[in-house]
Amino acid sequence: MAEREIRSGGCHCGDVRFTARGAFDAAISCNCSICQKRGHWLAFVPASDFDLETGAESISDYQFNHRRIHHFFCSRCGVGSFGRGTAPDGSAMVAVNVRCLDDIDLSTVTVTPFDGRSV
């Protein structure tokens, strides 16, 4: 298992800023109808390991299909830096868009395809 680290990140304009604790050397690339278009690489952390530092008033929420996931994005710049949902065990989780982490070297992230389109 990868070592957990504390990373900061946010949207393009800087209105939305967060801190997350987790392993960010691996992510999934989902092919569902929204993730494929947005190009997200997602790493999942327990909700207790995610802190929204700024921008709560700037966040818009988009839900579709089963409405299980809150796909948040900045209402100013449009970047979706994280989402909230429920893990398979029923616990609250946050999906962090690894591409929105500060100073991340994307060439070091192992990306695994996920067939969200079939879920």
pLDDT in tens, 4-62: 899 999 999 999 999 999 999 999 999 988 888 999 999 999 999 999 999 999 999 99
CA distance 2 to 107: 16
CA distance 37 to 22: 25
CATH architecture of 5-114: Beta Complex (2.170)
Distance of CA 76 to the CA centre of its chain: 18
Give the count of beta carbons closer than 10 Å to the beta carbon of residue 26.
15
Q: Higher pLDDT residue, 95 or 32?
A: 95
Write out the two tokens for 50: 């995610």
CA distance 46 to 49: 5
% pLDDT > 90, the chain:
81
Instruction: Provide the residue ranges of all domains of the chain, joining segments of one domain with +.
Output: 5-114
CA distance 41 to 109: 9
DSSP 39: T
| Res 103 pLDDT > 60 | yes
